[in-house]
């Protein structure tokens, strides 16, 4: 079953986390990666091509760094344009039944995402717009894979403990794709 990874990162050239993740999964068979900023530098998303790729895929992944408690802008635009009325919801639900997995990195530590933490809200609360989107489109939201506490530190050495966590997370991500994305619970 083909997996379509919708990947958004506005600054991949300076990325440590997502560069590692992409390098770890990009040789997998049956995994197609759409790096939106590389494909659509002018933000002129090819809606028909994206919809066709979604229809062809058995499951979807949204991979992104958490930006202001949300998705990066081009992933938001992708949703605005690709998940169109009459195709994703309304008369037709072309994504109905397809699993969607979120692969997210965040600069803040996990402890910050709590009522008592400095971000005040849990990830589950902050990800509600995506949960609502899957309800409306009929997609099946899988438990997200989140790597917390990875701010982008320019010039960080590959032996930094943070990079060891990134590499372990990347292996987990790869295994998830290899095994299939089936999971027991959503968020």
Residues that bind ligand FMN (CB under 6 A): 9, 15-18, 65-69, 105-108, 150-152
Q: Which helix H or strand E contains 64, and what residues bound it?
A: strand 59-65
In the complex with ligand FMN, which residue's Cβ is closer, 40 or 69?
A: 69
CA neighbours closer than 13 Å in the CB half-sphere of residue 170: 18
Question: Two tokens at 20?
Answer: 């590692």
Least distance (Å) between residue 163 CB and ligand FMN: 10
In the complex with ligand FMN, which residue's Cβ is closer, 138 or 151?
A: 151
Q: What is the β-pairing status of strands 99-105 and 145-147?
A: parallel
Please check whether residue 65 is in contact with residue 104, taking contact to mean a CB–CB distance below 8 angstroms.
Answer: yes
Q: What is the β-pairing status of strands 140-141 and 99-105?
A: parallel
In the complex with ligand FMN, which residue's Cβ is closer, 9 or 98?
A: 9
Q: Give CA–CA dist 124/99, Å, rounded.
A: 18
Q: Which residue is nearest to ligand FMN (CB)?
A: 107
Least distance (Å) between residue 56 CB and ligand FMN: 27
Q: What is the β-pairing status of strands 59-65 and 31-35?
A: unpaired
Least distance (Å) between residue 72 CB and ligand FMN: 8
In the complex with ligand FMN, which residue's Cβ is closer, 65 or 99?
A: 65
Least distance (Å) between residue 126 CB and ligand FMN: 8
């Amino acid at each position: 079953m083909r997996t379509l990874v919708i990947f958004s990162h506005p600054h991949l050239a300076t990325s440590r986390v997502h560069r590692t993740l992409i390098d770890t999964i990009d040789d997998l068979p049956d995994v197609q990666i759409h790096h939106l900023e590389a494909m659509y530098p002018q933000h002129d998303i090819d809606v028909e091509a994206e919809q066709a790729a979604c229809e062809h895929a058995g499951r979807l992944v949204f991979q992104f760094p958490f930006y202001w408690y949300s998705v990066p802008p081009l992933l938001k635009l992708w949703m605005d344009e690709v998940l169109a009325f009459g195709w994703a919801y309304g008369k037709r639900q072309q994504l109905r039944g397809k699993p969607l997995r979120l692969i997210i990195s965040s600069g803040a530590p996990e402890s910050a995402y709590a009522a008592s933490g400095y971000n005040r809200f849990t990830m589950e609360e902050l990800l509600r717009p995506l949960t609502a989107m899957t309800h409306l489109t009929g997609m099946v939201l899988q438990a997200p894979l989140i790597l917390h506490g990875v701010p982008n530190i320019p010039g960080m050495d590959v032996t930094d403990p943070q990079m060891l966590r990134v590499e372990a997370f990347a292996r987990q991500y790869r295994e998830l794709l290899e095994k299939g994305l089936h999971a027991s619970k959503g968020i």
